[in-house]
Amino acid sequence: MSILEVQQLQTHFFTNSGVVRAVDGIDFILSEGQVLGLVGESGSGKSVTGFSILRLVDVPGRIVGGRILFRGQDLAALSQQEMRAIRGDRIAMIFQDPLMTLNPVLRIDTQMIEAVRAHHRVSKKAALSRACDTLTRVGIPSARERLSSYPHQFSGGMRQRVAIAIALLNEPDLIVADEPTTALDVTIQSQILSEVQGLARESGTALIWITHDLAVVAGLADEIAVMYAGRIVESGPADAVLQRPRHPYTHGLLGSIPGLSRRGKPLQQIPGMAPNMANLPAGCAFAPRCGRASEQCHSRTPETQALSPTRSLRCHHPLSEEELA
Partner 1 sequence: MDLLLRVVILVVGLWLFFRVLRGHSHLYFSGPMAYVSAAMLLFFISMALFAPEISPQNPYDLAQLNIMDSRLAPGSSSIDQALVYHLGTDDQGRDILSGILYGLRVSLTVSLLATLVAMAIGVIVGIYAAWKGGKTQAFLMRLVDLQLSFPSILVALMLMASFGRGVDKVVLALVIVQWAYYARTVRGTALAETSKDYIAAARCLGFSDIRILFHHLLPNCMPPLLVISTIQVANTIVLESSLSFLGVGVPITNPSLGLLISNGYGYMLSGEYWMSIYPGLALLVIVASINLVGDRLRDAINPRLKR
Please report whether residue 127 would count as binding partner 1 according to CB under 8 A: no
Please report whether residue 101 would count as binding partner 1 according to CB under 8 A: yes
Question: Which span sits near partner 1 by CB under 8 A: 33-41, 100-108, 218-226, 261-269?
Answer: 100-108
Rounded (10°) angle between helices 156-168 and 108-117: 20
Closest CA to 251 of 270, 237, 265: 270
Distance between CA 161 and CA 181 in Å, rounded? 10
Please give the size of the binding site for partner 1, defined by CB under 8 A.
Answer: 28
- Strand pairing category for 174-178 and 206-211: parallel
Please report whether residue 71 would count as binding partner 1 according to CB under 8 A: no
Among 14, 73, 74, 85, binds partner 1 (CB under 8 A): 85
Whether omega for the bond prior to residue 281 falls within 30 degrees of 0, making it cis, is no
Please report whether residue 122 would count as binding partner 1 according to CB under 8 A: no
CA-to-CA separations, 16 to 60, 202, 256, 278, in angstroms, rounded: 10, 47, 35, 10
Distance between CA 325 and CA 321 in Å, rounded? 6
Among 56, 77, 257, 324, binds partner 1 (CB under 8 A): 56
User: For partner 1, which is the closer residue by CB, 93 or 241?
Assistant: 93
Among 93, 147, 207, 270, binds partner 1 (CB under 8 A): 93
Identify the bridge partners of residue 39 per DSSP, sorted by sequence position. Answer: 211, 226
> What minimum distance in Å lies between the beta carbon of 263 and partner 1?
38
Please report whether residue 86 would count as binding partner 1 according to CB under 8 A: yes
Among 1, 105, 260, 325, binds partner 1 (CB under 8 A): 105
How many residues in total does the chain contain?
325
- Angle CA 140–105–109, to nearest 5: 40
Please report whether residue 89 would count as binding partner 1 according to CB under 8 A: yes
Please report whether residue 119 would count as binding partner 1 according to CB under 8 A: yes
Please report whether residue 78 would count as binding partner 1 according to CB under 8 A: no
Residues forming contacts to partner 1 in the complex (CB under 8 A) are: 54, 56, 84-89, 92-93, 95-97, 100-106, 114-115, 118-119, 150, 152, 163, 166
